[in-house]
Amino acid sequence: MNKNELATAIAKETGLSERVATAVLKASLEVIMRTLSEGDTVAINGFGVFASKRREARTGRNPITGESIKIKPTNTVRFTPGSPFKAAVNNRK
Q: At what angle do helices 3-14 and 18-37 cross, to 10 degrees?
A: 120
When the candidates are 3.40.640.10, 4.10.520.10, 3.30.420.10, 3.40.120.10, the CATH number that belongs to 49-93 is 4.10.520.10
pLDDT tens-digit readout, 54-80: 999 999 999 999 999 999 999 999 999
Instruction: Identify the CA nearest to 35 among candidates 25, 49, 24, 21.
Output: 49
pLDDT tens-digit readout, 31-56: 999 999 999 999 999 999 999 999 99
The 10 Å CB-count burial string (b at 16+, else e) for 26-36 is: eeeeeeeeeeb
Output the pLDDT for position 93. Answer: 61
Output the pLDDT for position 91. Answer: 85
pLDDT tens-digit readout, 2-17: 999 999 999 999 999 9
